[in-house]
Amino acid sequence: MNRLRELSSQVMDVYQSLSQEFSAYQSSQSLNCVEKCGACCNKPDIEVSPLEMLPYALHLFDSGQAEQVFDELQSYSGFACKQYQRLSLDGTEGYCGIYEYRPGICRMFGAAGYKTKSGEATLSVCKPIKQAVPEKYAAALIAIQPAWGQSHDSDPMSTMSISSSKPPMIAEGRQKLAQLDYELGDKLMPINDALHYILEKILTLMFYSQNIDDGVAA
Ligand code: SF4
């Protein structure tokens, strides 16, 4: 269990740097999330690794809620991330119920860099942001052309503007997390399943460690 706690602390460190890096880019391009928008949370197929849910799962365990949430997830058939708190009937408005512990993808998604199937780096911006600020989206697309096309520019001022307009890559963020523990971090699954998976691991570990303690005491 100590190993999982240490891992969780490393995950939270990576989360902090990912949040800073991605929100700095999004703010610099005025491509921030639309207020109260829950478009990316209002579906159950957001994919994360069990490692990404480890900090929240340990929080549940420490606060005595792990078994209850584990049972609820087993029968959960909702059409959204279970942590999503709706503010409107259709679910388009809401907020994250575990903001402090939200997984890596939730910190990176919105406006970020990704590689196409042909390996070309490009900018991904979610539909609500594109619709809210189309001119900012167009400007960010234009701005990435020099960023990825002229990487050997010798003018320091130009280099500064290039680095600030280059979006951080989601794949690199995922890699930073996965390399902490490939067994838990490399496999992606729907977000509710990932929480269920890591809760099961924690509860099983605790069950066996308690049995060993009881055996030693007897
Ligand atoms: S964890 Fe929070 S931010 Fe991520 S999908 Fe669920 S509700 Fe949305």
Per-residue confidence at 147, pLDDT binned at 50, 70, 90? low
Which residues are bridge partners to 84 per DSSP?
Answer: 96
DSSP string computed for 43-81: STT-EE-GGGGHHHHHHHHHTT-HHHHHHHHHT---SS-
Residue with tokens 């600020």: 133
Per-residue confidence at 157, pLDDT binned at 50, 70, 90? very low
Any idea which of 124-133, 158-167, 190-199 has the lowest mean pLDDT? 158-167
Asked whether residue 189 carries a pLDDT value surpassing 70, the answer given is yes
Report pLDDT for 159.
41
CA angle 39, 41, 42 (to 5 degrees): 65
Report pLDDT for 94.
96
Instruction: Using a pLDDT cut of 90, give the percent of the chain over it.
Output: 72
Name the residue of 34, 36, 46, 188 to mutate for ligand 1: max ligand atoms within 8 A of Cβ: 46
DSSP type of residue 152: T
Q: Which ipTM did the prediction report?
A: 0.96
Per-residue confidence at 161, pLDDT binned at 50, 70, 90? very low
Q: How far, in Å, CA of 66 to CA of 59, rounded?
A: 8
Q: What is the pLDDT of residues 193-217, one digit of tens each?
A: 999 999 999 999 988 887 666 665 5
Name the residue of 191, 196, 198 to mutate for ligand 1: max ligand atoms within 8 A of Cβ: 191
Report pLDDT for 173.
96
> Using CA positions, which residue lies closest to atom 4 of ligand 1?
106
Establish whether residue 184 lines the binding site of ligand 1, counting it when its CB lies within 6 angstroms of any ligand atom.
no
Q: Would you state the structure tokens that stand for residue 118, as one six-digit string?
A: 């042909």
Q: Would you state the structure tokens that stand for residue 172, as one six-digit string?
A: 């690199």
- Report the separation in Å between the CA atom of 104 and the middle of ligand 1, taken as the mean of its atom positions: 10
Any idea which of 4-8, 20-24, 40-44 has the lowest mean pLDDT? 40-44
Report pLDDT for 209.
80
Establish whether residue 105 lines the binding site of ligand 1, counting it when its CB lies within 6 angstroms of any ligand atom.
no
- Report the separation in Å between the CA atom of 211 and the middle of ligand 1, taken as the mean of its atom positions: 35
Report pLDDT for 137.
94
Based on its alpha-carbon atoms, the radius of gyration of the chain, rounded to whole angstroms, reads: 20
- Report the separation in Å between the CA atom of 161 and the middle of ligand 1, taken as the mean of its atom positions: 32
